[in-house]
Structure 1
Amino acid sequence: MNNWIKRNSGHLIVAAIFFVLAFAYFFNPIMQGKVMYQGDVLQAQAMQKEIMDVKAKTGHAPLWTNQMFGGMPSYQIWAKYGSNATTYVIDALKTVFPNPVDTILLYMFGAYFLFCTLKLNNWLAAAGAVAFAFSSYNFIYIEAGHANQAYAIAFFAPIVAGIIMTLRGQYITGGALTAFFLAMEIRSNHVQMTFYLLLAVAILIGIELYHAIKAKLTTPFFKAIGFLAGATILAVLVNAGSLWTTYEYSKYTIRGKPNLKSETTTASTGLAKDYAYTWSESVTEVFTFFIPNAYGGGTGTTAGEDSKVAKVLTDKGIDPAQAQQFAAQVPLYWGNKPSTNGPWYFGAVVFFLFVLGLLIVKNRIKWWLLSAVLLSVFLSFGKNLPFLSDLFFNYFPLYNKFRAVESTLVIASLCFPILGFLALNEVFINRDKAYVFNKTKIAFYITGGITLLMIALPGLILSFKSTEHQTLITGLTQAFRGDGAMANSVANALIQDREALERADAIRTFIFVALIFGLLYIVIKQKISTTFAAFAVMGLVVVDMWSVDKRYLKDDTFIPKENLAQVYTPREVDEFVMRDKDPNFRVFDLSLSDPFHDSRSSYFYKTVGGFHSARLRRFDELVENQFTKSINQDVLDMLNTKYIITADPKTGAAGMRANPTACGNAWFVKTVKYVKDADQEMQAISSFSPKDEAMIDQSYKKVVEALPLGPDDNSTIKLISYEPEHLTYQTSSSANQVAVFSEIYYDKGWTMLIDGKEQPYYRADYLLRAATIPVGNHKVEFIFHPTSYYAGENISLAGSVLLILALGGAVYSERKKKQPEAKKA
């Protein structure tokens, strides 16, 4: 035991440093027992409400929820995937460590493993790990509540490490570790992040193939590729349950093919291009990589009381308190994104080292890192670089499934510190000190020169005006009752405030660049040891990154637990609606700013609206065509909208009215009208009587008329039992009739039984279920039992067993390698 501690003392010290940093960053809120206020996490709590309630009651989490958008599978909301071994690893991390300490530790330990794989010493690897972990967006994603996204990013580095180990000939260990970390990556359930990582890995494999051919070493290369292919298959098997359900479901969401010909775009199987490009990085916004406030910070950063804006207003005779209040509402961010929590800041120290890496690193990995950075940066420009973006969007598989293209910068945020610390390692080990110092000076001239330019003459490069600047002036003119001169004065003052903010951060950046240059100078002159220098670099990185991260993920983000519990405090109208004992009606809450992008109401009852980025496309098309210009009462009725909540335009107080024409849970219709396609069906429900007639696609005609239909004004159909995955109805009629159920049609898992025997059902009124019910008294059941989940879970179990065996084999292999070494010693 003592020998083991001695051998691993360096790693243990590094681990201790990581724990100290992670807990120190969140020390105050942790000690005060506070929890994070994360907008997206709170949205998720509302989405999951029915799932969690059923789980608490029965022990089983349903795979379908009716809590929002009329109903949808719960795969992308919450699902256990209990046969997946990695589920228990993630659960253990979240149980042992407070949120979000677990994520920060994963960032650091994963990157540390990668830097050690790249042969950096412990202290340099630790410094590099901290540089990656504290990149601003790694913290901003946490603050925003993108927990899955942050977890997925945390596994980037160890996956790359496993791939590099395998390519270097450590086939068994590298392959097993790649399988494990890739399985963890996929289980994090953020396909977009995984996709971007695979883009970067593809570039790495391509470069390695080129060099293998050049060096005539294709045999070991393809052997490594074989192990990596096996690792990938194993990781996929482990996650078969989640991948299968996601793949199956995605085809029917807004990322799938449009149903309406009138809405078919160039990318007919993905998102609308305008929607996908909404969060595009401006070309000159790359200056935030090393000057965080070059673009004004986040949309929450405002001018404030000491600003030029406030001064202009007070000079014009405005009351100082009012001037300060006005200035506190003026955003300093001037990019073209509709909103942003903050900049993509990689660090002043890291940026300097990255430039040095381009000059000094000779390892071919440099070309991979540079290529990956350039691709991720160019793709992040989205609509601002349409040639490349459109090429990927229109022709590259899966690319058009993802929105917020600026997210490609997660690859750059990984590559910058890797190349930077490879450069630092080269400074430490290269014996040609004159050569090293010459390259270091050039890096300083480049980074320092750019920074000095951004201090002295930032207006040469940046305009500090948003694309909506003229609109802002027009709005200010109206606010100042037609005083255009005052509006222009305020707008000009705002530009000055933005420029001052940028200049202050540019000065800050120059200081850090000068410090890291000075540190490297005394290292090259061999005035201090490399160990001390590595700790000094870590210190510089921590001071640099920590202070910027605290602008966004700060102590104020945490609130007392009791306050968080009060976020979903029911209003009087909510309490009234919840007293209704009907188990399955819907509410349309117009008191929200946008009922189709807010999940608050879903916390209390089943809603017509809700929030989810992977909602069913048919429902999205229904919203676009029946609710955007005006609200279609007929559609509300067919969705069994029993209550409509509105807000008083003057006071904002919520009011409620019952909807007496709601169709109920299910009903028999008098007539059936056939339509030829989705467009005609959408048009047909624009004005119809849902209680009396059903609009059905002609492709279902044979199923509808399998039994001769007849009228019966006295027929009844009633919901007698409700569970999200199992709905039971009792019917009674003297003729065969078509019943419409106010349930969302999704045939990948729903089965209909009549008196215990499976029978066909079909789609009606664009997105509801319907069925031909035979004469007599019957028990009709809808049961959700998707093969993709249950068969996928069986595959996951087999994959998990194989993964554990692979990891065990890797441990055995490594121990066997060390035995001869021990005998020699």
Structure 2
Amino acid sequence: MELARAATRGRLTVEQTLADRPSMALALKVVLSSGPAAVLALLAPLGGRRAVAMSAAALFTFTLLVGIGTPLYGAVLFHLPLIDHFRVPNRILLFAVFAVAILSALGLDALGAQPVRRVLPAIVLLATAVAFRAGGAMDAWTGAILAAPILLSLLPAGRLRAAGAWVLLGLVVAGRFAQRGNTVMIPEHNPDSFFDPPAVVGFLRQHVGAERVLLIPDWSHRFPMTDKVGSIFGFATVQDYEPLAPRAYHDLLAPLDDVNVDAPLFWGRFYPGPDHPGWRLLDRLAVRWVVAASGRGWRPRAQHYPLVYDDGSFQVYENPRALPRASLVPLAEVVADEDEARARVHAPDFDPRARVVVDRPLQWGTSEEREGVAPSAAVERITADEVVVRVSTPRPAILVLADLYWPGWRARVDGRERPIARANVLLRAVAVEAGVHLVEFRYAPWSVRIGAATSATTALVLVV
């Protein structure tokens, strides 16, 4: 919600929030995939002024689908009230589909009102579109439904054609509801045991801690170990199925694009092999555990990923190269430009244990050192909106938290406010002096505070 709000109120650009842009190809796909409906829609102007409004709506929608290549997209997305609810391209498609459907109906009426010899070319074109669509992976039922408008257009206008149209509509609806739905995750269609956590979940809950898990699923037996396994069973993962993934996340993990199953989009579903070069980046995101389904054949070399669990269905491997969720780094390199910072952290010689790239200078209250203090950073508590880290360091250092940098997060060191720097393009960093400290990260954006105050005021007014 915060991502969508920030995106539609100008604090983020479209490029930063969408992993891929809407395109002309998407707009054309809507028209071409509808086949006969598109042909009928082209005949709608024969019906007169009734088609003007829907034609304008269709033109407006398809212009939006072209995306940020047109000035209209940005102007509408950022300034037209309520349009931000349709910022995702597949939501904009709702307008396109509705407009094409109405125009198709108007075109069908116009087709029936014309002498046959005048509309014969249109009928031939419509039949060609039906044949083109039916020639693909389409059954006889669908082909018959698509061919029916041609027969209706040949009937005389009046009750007979209206009755035929209602029959056709009824057949389409009946055919849709006759299709088997997705009942995999519906309790009524599965025994209770289907939703029980597998044995591997118990192992993960005992050992994962604050570090993250990467899942290599078996697509033929996905449930209950899905891409949402972290949300379902309560441990941290580096994957998810989330269309609102920030573009900065995609850009940082660009070396994993060849194992991204949603490419060119980026929804967080990537499955690298044990020798994939993208593991250098996953190491920095505290990915210490790999859960591989037996059917996937994920077979690493033992010295790189020791096998720590095997129940026949899943194997768990430990990644000893992974950095912890919270770590101390001695040196900071200030790089304000995001592209330059990304190139720096992608460089083969970059060592995240020795240096962190930050977007602003860090300041320490004192440069004194403490003898007899062993360096450590232990996560004591972690929730969706709070992370508490106990830090011990003999000299001034930078605490790097391998969590997403985002506006609204605030940090306190021993109860005092401390600015958060953007670390290694995507993460959070805070300066800490020598000694033992309690560092608290809390998510408290102004939007939440304003919303809470508004709700409290409204409740008070209602009570009074």
Fold conserved (TM > 0.5)? yes
User: What runs of 5+ residues in structure 2 fail to find an aligned partner?
Assistant: 79-85, 260-275, 299-312
Whether the 8 Å CA contact 1:454–1:506 is kept in 2: the answer is: no
Q: CA deviation at 1:272?
A: 4.1
1:368 pairs with 43, 49, 53, which one?
A: 53
Q: Relative to 1, partners in 2 of residues 1:660 and 1:571: Cα closer, same or farther, differing over 3 Å?
A: same
Decide which moves more: 722-731 or 443-452.
443-452
Whether the 8 Å CA contact 1:244–1:792 is kept in 2: the answer is: no
Q: Equivalent residue for 1:256?
A: 14
Q: Equivalent residue for 1:708?
A: 367
Measure, in 1, the Cα distance between the counterparts of 2:140 and 2:388.
66
Q: Relative to 1, partners in 2 of residues 1:440 and 1:691: Cα closer, same or farther, differing over 3 Å?
A: closer
Amino acid at match of 1:695: V
Amino acid at match of 1:730: R
Amino acid at match of 2:148: R
Aligned ranges 1:106-185 → 2 under 5 Å = none
CA offsets 1:90-143 (integer angstroms, 9 cap, x no match): xxxxxxxxxxxxxxxxxxxxxxxxxxxxxxxxxxxxxxxxxxxxxxxxxxxxxx
Q: Equivalent residue for 1:358?
A: 47
CA offsets 1:268-292 (integer angstroms, 9 cap, x no match): x86644768457426544534289x
Q: Equivalent residue for 2:331?
A: 671
Measure, in 2, the Cα distance between the counterparts of 1:547 and 1:444.
28
User: What runs of 5+ residues in structure 1 fail to find an aligned partner?
Assistant: 1-73, 77-242, 259-268, 292-347, 383-387, 424-438, 466-493, 522-536, 805-825
Q: Equivalent residue for 1:133?
A: none
Q: Equivalent residue for 1:563?
A: 189
Please state whether the residue corresponding to 1:556 is helix, strand or coil: coil
The size of the alignment, in residue pairs, is: 411
Whether the 8 Å CA contact 2:68–2:74 is kept in 1: the answer is: no
Q: Relative to 1, partners in 2 of residues 1:764 and 1:373: Cα closer, same or farther, differing over 3 Å?
A: closer
Which structure is richer in relative contact order (CA contacts within 8 A, separation 6 or more)? 1
Q: Equivalent residue for 2:243?
A: 613
1:761 pairs with 413, 416, 420, which one?
A: 420
CA offsets 1:283-321 (integer angstroms, 9 cap, x no match): 544534289xxxxxxxxxxxxxxxxxxxxxxxxxxxxxx
Q: Judging by fraction of residues, say which structure has more strand.
A: 2
Aligned ranges 1:506-545 → 2 under 5 Å = 506-513=146-153, 517-519=157-159, 542-545=166-169
Q: Equivalent residue for 1:403?
A: 89
Whether the 8 Å CA contact 1:670–1:711 is kept in 2: the answer is: no
Measure, in 1, the Cα distance between the counterparts of 2:65 and 2:431.
52
2:207 pairs with 570, 580, 583, which one?
A: 580
Q: Equivalent residue for 1:484?
A: none
Measure, in 2, the Cα distance between the counterparts of 1:396 and 1:244.
16
Q: Equivalent residue for 2:358?
A: 696
Measure, in 2, the Cα distance between the counterparts of 1:495 and 1:606.
47
Q: Equivalent residue for 2:124?
A: 453
Q: Relative to 1, partners in 2 of residues 1:446 and 1:374: Cα closer, same or farther, differing over 3 Å?
A: farther
Amino acid at match of 1:398: L
Measure, in 2, the Cα distance between the counterparts of 1:739 and 1:709.
17
Please state whether the residue corresponding to 2:403 is helix, strand or coil: strand
Aligned ranges 1:748-787 → 2 under 5 Å = 748-787=407-446
Q: CA deviation at 1:396?
A: 5.0
1:720 aligns with 2:419: no
Q: Relative to 1, partners in 2 of residues 1:639 and 1:710: Cα closer, same or farther, differing over 3 Å?
A: farther
Please state whether the residue corresponding to 1:690 is helix, strand or coil: coil
Measure, in 2, the Cα distance between the counterparts of 1:579 and 1:389.
47
Measure, in 2, the Cα distance between the counterparts of 1:797 and 1:410.
42
1:247 aligns with 2:247: no
Whether the 8 Å CA contact 2:286–2:322 is kept in 1: the answer is: yes
Q: Equivalent residue for 1:171?
A: none
Q: Relative to 1, partners in 2 of residues 1:497 and 1:695: Cα closer, same or farther, differing over 3 Å?
A: closer
Please state whether the residue corresponding to 1:607 is helix, strand or coil: coil
Aligned ranges 1:316-395 → 2 under 5 Å = 355=44, 358-359=47-48, 367-376=52-61, 378-379=62-63, 390-391=69-70
Q: Judging by fraction of residues, say which structure has more helix.
A: 1
Measure, in 2, the Cα distance between the counterparts of 1:790 and 1:680.
35
Q: Equivalent residue for 1:181?
A: none
Measure, in 2, the Cα distance between the counterparts of 1:286 and 1:444.
26
Measure, in 2, the Cα distance between the counterparts of 1:406 and 1:450.
29
Q: Equivalent residue for 2:113?
A: 442
Amino acid at match of 2:393: S
Q: CA deviation at 1:683?
A: 2.7
Measure, in 2, the Cα distance between the counterparts of 1:730 and 1:772.
14
Q: Relative to 1, partners in 2 of residues 1:555 and 1:420: Cα closer, same or farther, differing over 3 Å?
A: same
Tell me the TM-score normalized by structure 1.
0.42
Tell me the TM-score normalized by structure 2.
0.69
Whether the 8 Å CA contact 2:112–2:156 is kept in 1: the answer is: no
Q: Equivalent residue for 1:16?
A: none
Decide which moves more: 601-610 or 557-566.
557-566
Whether the 8 Å CA contact 2:403–2:428 is kept in 1: the answer is: yes
Q: CA deviation at 1:734?
A: 3.4
Q: Equivalent residue for 2:132?
A: 464
Q: CA deviation at 1:619?
A: 0.9
Q: Relative to 1, partners in 2 of residues 1:793 and 1:415: Cα closer, same or farther, differing over 3 Å?
A: farther
Amino acid at match of 1:756: G
Q: Equivalent residue for 2:99?
A: 412
Whose radius of gyration is greater, 1 or 2?
1
- Identity among equivalent positions (%) equals 17
Q: CA deviation at 1:621?
A: 0.8
Measure, in 2, the Cα distance between the counterparts of 1:285 and 1:244.
33
Amino acid at match of 2:418: Q
Measure, in 2, the Cα distance between the counterparts of 1:510 and 1:410.
20
Measure, in 2, the Cα distance between the counterparts of 1:502 and 1:581.
50
Measure, in 2, the Cα distance between the counterparts of 1:419 and 1:796.
47
Whether the 8 Å CA contact 1:244–1:789 is kept in 2: the answer is: no
1:638 pairs with 279, 284, 293, which one?
A: 284
Q: CA deviation at 1:769?
A: 0.8
Q: CA deviation at 1:729?
A: 1.9
Measure, in 2, the Cα distance between the counterparts of 1:799 and 1:445.
65
1:740 pairs with 391, 396, 400, which one?
A: 400
1:289 aligns with 2:47: no
Q: Relative to 1, partners in 2 of residues 1:569 and 1:513: Cα closer, same or farther, differing over 3 Å?
A: farther
Please state whether the residue corresponding to 2:436 is helix, strand or coil: strand
